[in-house]
Each structure stands twice: as C-alpha cells, then as structure tokens.
Chains A and B, each alone.
Chain A
Amino acid sequence: MSAAAQTSVAPVRRFSGRSKRVLPGFGLSLGISLFFVSLVLLLPLTGLVVETSGMTWDQFVFTITDPRVIESYKVTAWTALAASLFNGAFGLLLAWVLVRYEFPGKRLIDAVVDLPFALPTAVAGITLATLFAQNGWYGQWLDKLGVEVAFTPIGIVVAMAFTSIPFVVRTVQPVLEELSPADEEAAVSLGASDGRVFRQVIFPSLWPALVTGVALSFTRSLGEFGAIIFIAGNTPYVSEVTSLMIFIRLQEYDYAAASAIASMVLLASLILLFAINLWQSRYLRRLEGR
C-alpha cells in the first residue's frame, strides 16, 4: 500500500484493482453506500412495478387519464410554475440584496431565508391557512380587494411558493458573491446604464444558477403535499393537486390506481432530477474551465 502511495501523484486512482488505491476504505464505504442505496432507494421501487404490472394497459390508461386526475395534473403544473417563477424573482432580489448591500437586519434575513426548509410543512400549511382565511390577518385585507386565496388554486401557489423560497436564493447567492467586479466597473465607467450592465454583463453569468434554482423550486412544488392540503380547500376538478389524488386513492384502498398515478408523478420527477443534474454538471464544468 505505502509503496504504491509513494509513486502516486494523482489523488484519485483508476478503477483497475484494489491494490492500486492509495486510501483505505474503498470496499467498506462503497459497500455501505450500495447496500443502503439498494435497500432504501431502489428496492421500494419494485413494489410500484409489481403493483402496476398487475393492471392491464387499458386499466392503467383509464386510471391516469381520469378527468379528475387530468385536472389535478393541470392544477399542479400551473401552480408549481407560478410559484417557481415568483421565487425566481423574489430569490434573485433577496440574493442581490444580501450580497451587494450592508444594512441593519441583514444577518437576520439571511438566517430566516431557510425557515421554509426548517419548518415542518404541516405547520406551514395551518399557518398559511390561518393567515389567508377570510378573517385572517392577510385574508381580511385581500377580501376587501376581492381576492380569495384560501380554498382556491391561488392558495396552492402561496403554499408552494413558501415551501420553496430558499432554492433560488441559495443557488444564486454564491454565484453573485464570486462575480468579479472588473467587467462591471469597466462597463459602468464607460457610461453604460445600470440596466444595460445588468443585462449584458451580470445576467449572462447569473442565469444558469437562476434556472437551476427555479427548476429545483418547480420540482419541489410538484411534489409538495403537507403545506398545500390545509389551504387548498381540495375541491375536486378545481384545487386538488396530484399528490392529494394519490393520497385519496390510497384512502379508498385502491392501491392499483394510487400506484398508476404515482408512477406518472415519479417518472416526471425523475426526468426533472436527471435534467437538472445534467444541466448543473454542464454549467459547473464551464465554470471550472474558466
């Protein structure tokens, strides 16, 4: 082992046999990892496969294209899109303010941004439902303006937006911090307007992180359940999200239908996950190459 180490330069060894690895623990650490990943992440997928394979193709299609379920896909998709776009704007604003300016309360804001990840979703759900109820602190003002949030799809947007606030802030913040001021200062001193410098100098390095943050926020919103069910009202064809449809089918003991709908949701989230990872690795490689 030590003889191999003395001749080695590269920190990471090739995959060509245990003896050439410098550091110990390859077998143990990979063994634990693979055992855990197989048992915890992959094995449970087999249950879904077994359950859905017990259905005929027609049954499967009938279940996933049930009008009430179709409506839930639509509601989930547009509310998640609205929530993640809102977070794109709000997250960019927060990241900008936290990186560029000094002001009293800045540290507090920086800490409080992560609240939605720390606060259990059920707690967020009952809190938002209380705030936006007709007699709630926010609800009574919105009521005067003629806007109903609680028990409507807008309530779903509010719940999704709340639970995914940190994503954009935390992906954009480090990129903004590392942005070199040289180009920006040159552009400003040459007399370019702030808007133009932002669009042409700052935004081009920012947008990959912004897209990542919005995509993460969107993925999270698609699967959100706890925060939504309290504020959505859960009216069939109007304000039911797909996670809730799965839950309802389960409560009816219709495991096959629940599995069929879940397999669609799972497929969508896995595609999103791989797309985001591919996007991130591409964009990170570009950053490293600079």
Chain B
Amino acid sequence: MALLDVNELVKHFPIKYGLFGKVIGYIRAVDGVSFSIDKGSVLSIVGESGSGKSTVARCLLRLLDPTSGTISFEGKDVLSLKGKELKWYRKNVQAVFQNPFLSLNPRMSVESILTEPLRVHMGMDGSEAKGEALRLLERVGLSPEIAKRHPHELSGGQAQRVAIARAIAPHPELLILDEPTSALDVSVQAQILNLLAELKDELGLSYLLISHDLSVVRYISDRVAVMYLGRIVEEAQIDELFNNPVHPYTKALLSSVPEPDPKARVLRSRIILPGEPPSPVNPPPGCKLATRCPYAMELCMSREPELVDIGGGHLVRCWQLTSLK
C-alpha cells in the first residue's frame, strides 16, 4: 500500500464578478490529477507556472479544499479527517515552502519557531523542548547561537534550514517541498539539496517535491510527474523520463533547460514550443497542449487522451505514442 494516494484530484476556483459576486467562470487549476507515493521514495511534480502543481500541494496540505477527488494517507481518507485524526495527519505530513523569509514568522525567534511544533505534536515543554530545538538546529547544520536570532538576521540558506528543521521536528512521514530552493542562490541551493538528501535517508522520509527546475528534480527524485495546465502529461521513473521522454511537452521542457556544457548541449534534441500556455479559465477542449504542439492533429484538438502505460510504469498522455516513442 502506498503511503499517499491521490485520485482524480480536481480544484476549480470560481471567478466572481460584480457587486454580488456572481460566478462567471472557473479557473481550472487542477483538472484531474492522480498519483501515489511509496514510503521512502521521492516523487517530483514538475511544471511551469499555471500548471497547477502548487495547487496540488495546497490541497494535500489541506490549505485548500479540493472540488472533487480523493486523497488517502496510510489508507485513511484525508479529506474527511477531523479533530485528533486531523492532528495526526498534520504531524505526519509537513511542508517546506519556497521563501523562508516569508514562511517563518518574522517576529518569532528561531527557538520559538522550533519549539512550537514540539509543543503541539511531541508534548514537549520548557527546557526539554529547548534542548530538542538545539538538537534540530545541529541536525540541519546550524550552530546553537542561531536559536536566539530572528529570521531576518539569517541568510537565505540559514533561514531555509530553520524551515526544514521546523518541518522535521514532529517526526513526519511525508514532507511536501514546494520549490524549496528556487529563492536561493546556486551555491546555497546545492547545500540545501544535499541536506534534504541526507535527511531523507537518515530519517526514512518520503518527499513530494514541487519544482519548475528540472535539474533540481533530477538530483533528488525517484519518480517524476510532468504537469501542464492542471493535468499530468507524463510520469515515469527518473532516469527513464530524462533518457526517454515521450510527451512533446516533456521534450520541450527538457530541451529548454540551459546547459552550461557545450558538449552536452549538442546531444540534446531541441524543441522550443512557440507561444504561451492558454488560459486555465477556458482550456481548449482536446489535449491541453494542442494549440502549441508541433505534432498536433485534428484529433488532438477535439479529444483529450488518457494516461497510458507504455511499459515499466512510464505513463504518457498523448494520442501519438507510436510515432513519438
């Protein structure tokens, strides 16, 4: 049984207009997304802005209520959890957000930030909590004097480490990482990625990594799902996706990643998609990529393909599998 199972998750945001807030349309941010995460593994969801990946994360964290679909964690239906059971879920599913200067309360000292989850979920108090907080700081590579500081006194890397320490404090099973390195400098990014990799092995964590950066995803994931306009268009084991991308969007995404090494660049087959994604308010009826896809046929414009397993757990949503493979 998988640790986390998501089935046909849908989230539509109503667009209201006028004095009385009449609903005139919907932003179809997530339009039917299914995936699962096995214990101890890392699934990444990759997509550009507007793909719906962050919305998926927010639904999983119950910061948003999905329009439809089911989420189950260790077999339990997440969306119906209340009271003690909800608290159990919160203890086990934690998050690290993109910008640590925004995700840490600027008025709290690092020590208070870390003791909060210890009090809520581990029943620790006073000196016991403070001691554990210092241990957490050490675990993420920070010195104990950081405990008395406030977030704005820290560097980006240090602040994100504090955010990670806070997330692992209640001993969760699953960490949802929403663009954890996008706001950091390159050299700091590497430090944080290494830390995340270590923690995963040491603490037996599972990760859901949301990112727009394919290089980051490659470094740390076991499986990757590519999202476009609210749908998963391709999903595969990590090396398989990078070595053998099938969906035109995945290919375009991969070939757009700037590659420093000129030798490696030559090996890449370039597709650059023209134009921009259509609005998620009125997505085209067929395949969402049809308006930009170099291989689009009439069928693609009118009917949306299903996700098909082309072998070894490699899923693709495209009508032209035989020619593209």
Are A and B interaction partners? Answer: no
> Which B residues are closer than 8 A to A by beta carbons?
none
